[in-house]
Amino acid sequence: MKTILRLSVNGTPREDAVAGNALLIDYLRDGLGLSGTKQGCDGGECGACTVLVDGLPRLACGTLAHSVAGREVETIESLSHEGNISRLQRAFHEHLGAQCGFCTPGMIMAAEALLRSNPQPDRAQIREALAGNLCRCTGYVKIVDSVEAACGTEHAL
Amino acid sequence: MNSLPDFQYLRPATAADALRMHAANPASHYIAGGTDLMPNIRRGLVTIGAAIDLGGLGELAEIVEQGGALRIGSGVSLARIAAHSEVQVRLPAVAQAALSVAGPTHRAGGTLGGNLCLDTRCNYYNQSEAWRAGNNYCMKRDGEGCRVAKKSKRCYAAFSGDVAPALIAMNAEVEILGARGVRRQPLTELYQDDGMKWLTLAPGELLLTVSVPLDDVWVSAYEKVRMRGAIDFPLAGVAVALRREKDVLTGLRIACTGVASQPLLIDGLDAVLGKPLDDASLALIAEQADLANRSMKTTLVDVLYRRGVSLVLAKRLTQRLWDAAA
């Protein structure tokens, strides 16, 4: 049965009729067309579906849409404005942090959550924050490089 | 993963409300972070008529110091417990255990209550519908008999929560809301050694809080062994709480996870008390931990390894805490 779900998605307040058993990832991708969030393992093990809920990383494939009622949900689409990608996204681009790119939205959202709470993490802290995100192109070194580069000065990129 | 079955979504305003909702919907399940329950529902391991979301219950989301104990709500996230300064300093085993659960995304959503009530796990259970059908299911779900112990009448799925042994080693108590009101009991009594019914909770009963005594004389630590460094359940996990007064060991509590259908508090350690920790004491600790160990072939890793590594962890942590408390 569908009931009204009220929440904020990427800064926009929304009211949508959503089924009680709808997953957050299906609501975002199929309901709102925000297909940047990826469905990887679909079982809570790979982190490709990571979005932010009230600033904290959460797995959209294992979260009921209604459980985030009243909360602020942010997806990868929220990071770019008027065609300009964020510093973190640019760092992934410049430092080859994306290979096939499928894990990248989840990696970037998990890294975004880290940088908001700890703007100058060391490599161990970056690796810890991304421990729940799998990359099957084996690009971890470049991914950690990218996050590290995004912590640099504004002029570094 | 399968699509989710059709079910109702319910959001109680209070814990008492949640209990009433459960009574009205017997096939319902409480859900908080859902990090374990959701994949299990999608694998067809759990039948669900309604999801009662405990996420909005503020009364379960507090950490307060009260009467010489730290009272942690069952709805507090594992990330918050791991980062809580009082827990880190005074209950290090609990902080270490919470931090060792899965990855940061799971810990941000997963709760203390969810980890304590975690479903037991087995190679023959935590699989897709197609895999289980191909192996003719098992008694824990949809089938008959145990695939691990063929003649067994009981299920040997292993309890694999990380936080329970740390809390048991620290002598924690739990508050449970049931039809007759709130009751308080040692955390150890929440469990029984049965892979199909590992919790002693009656249907609908709700774990409210966990209280851990704040006795600064005790030091503690938790360590686990797993297949990969992140997002993995323990093959074996051990928590040790130890009290040293000068050169005398005056208290020792060791609890294990991943090696039975319930977290185990190791018995028979009194003989090592009242004297310094020495090699004979460590040998006795290893012997008692081995006696308690009931590992079965529920993981891809050999039983002998899990038995052996439990002893190593128990001895290593005890020695480390003893040395550090000097």
pLDDT in tens, B248-265: 999 999 999 999 999 999
Structure tokens at B231: 């997002």
A155 to chain B, closest Cα gap in Å:
30
Domain contains B146 = no
Structure tokens at B170: 């620290």
Q: Do A44 and B38 touch (CB under 8 A)?
A: yes
Alpha carbons B21 and B229: distance in angstroms, whole number = 39
- What are the sequence ranges of the domains in chain A? 2-79, 87-152
* Nearest Cα to Cα of residue A143 among A157, A153, A152, A133: A133
> Does domain A87-152 fall into CATH 3.40.50.1820?
no
Task: Compare CB distances from B105 to A1, A58, A64 and report the shortest one's residue.
Answer: A58
Task: Compare CB distances from B102 to A56, A57, A132 and report the shortest one's residue.
Answer: A132
Segments forming the whole domain that contains residue B174: 61-117+158-324
B291 to chain A, closest Cα gap in Å:
34
Question: How many domains are there within chain B?
Answer: 2
**C-beta of residue B249 within 8 angstroms of C-beta of residue B272:** yes
| Domain shared by B49 and B73, yes or no | no
* Nearest Cα to Cα of residue B198 among B231, B164, B225: B164
Structure tokens at B234: 């323990």
Q: What is the pLDDT of residue A156?
A: 44
**C-beta of residue B303 within 8 angstroms of C-beta of residue B258:** no
Beta bridge partners of B176: B183, B207
Scored b (16 or more CB within 10 A) or e, B61-72 reads bebeeeeebbbb
Beta bridge partners of A52: A57, A74
Return the C-alpha torsion angle B284, B287, B292, B297, nearest 10.
150
Q: Is B312 helix (H, G, I), strand (E, B) or coil?
A: helix
Q: What is the pLDDT of residue A154?
A: 42
pLDDT in tens, chain A (157 residues): 899 999 999 999 999 999 999 999 999 999 999 999 999 998 899 999 999 999 999 999 999 999 999 999 999 999 999 989 999 999 999 999 999 999 999 999 999 999 999 999 999 999 999 999 999 997 799 999 999 999 975 444 4
Which of left, alpha, beta for A58 (phi over 0: left; psi -120 to 50: alpha)?
A: beta
* Nearest Cα to Cα of residue B249 among B161, B304, B326, B316: B326
| Domain shared by B7 and B31, yes or no | yes
pLDDT tens per residue, range B269-323: 999 999 999 999 999 999 999 999 999 999 999 999 999 999 999 999 999 999 9
Mean pLDDT of B126-142: 95
| Domain shared by B317 and B177, yes or no | yes
| Domain shared by B304 and B259, yes or no | yes
Domain contains B138 = no
Non-local CB neighbours of B161 within 8 Å, separated by 6+ positions? B115, B116, B118, B257, B263
pLDDT band at B3 (very low <50, low <70, confident <90, very high): confident
Mean pLDDT of B102-131: 96
pLDDT band at B230 (very low <50, low <70, confident <90, very high): confident
| Domain shared by B189 and B47, yes or no | no
Q: Residue A28: CA atoms inside 13 Å, Cβ hemisphere, count? A: 33
Q: Do A132 and B55 touch (CB under 8 A)?
A: no
- The long-range contacts involving B245-253, CB below 8 angstroms and separated by at least 24 positions, are B245/B217, B247/B276, B248/B274, B248/B275, B248/B276, B249/B273, B249/B274, B249/B275, B249/B276, B249/B277, B249/B281, B249/B322, B250/B274, B251/B217, B251/B218, B252/B285, B252/B318, B253/B168, B253/B169, B253/B170, B253/B171
Of B36, B53, B70, the domain-final residue: B53
Domain contains B153 = no
Task: Compare CB distances from A132 to B1, B9, B103 and report the shortest one's residue.
Answer: B103
CA distances from B117 to B36, B56, B170 (A): 10, 19, 18
- pLDDT surpasses 60 at B177: yes
Chain B nearest-CA residue for A3: B9
| Domain shared by B193 and B276, yes or no | yes
Q: Do B9 and A3 touch (CB under 8 A)?
A: yes
Count of other CB atoms within 10 angstroms of residue B308: 16
The type of residue at A114 is: L
**C-beta of residue B102 within 8 angstroms of C-beta of residue B35:** yes
Considering the segment(s) A2-79 as one domain, its CATH architecture is Roll (3.10)
| Domain shared by B44 and B83, yes or no | no
CATH code of the domain in which B5 resides: 3.30.43.10
Is the Cβ of A21 closer than 8 Å to some Cβ of chain B? yes
| Domain shared by B39 and B90, yes or no | no
Domain contains B141 = no
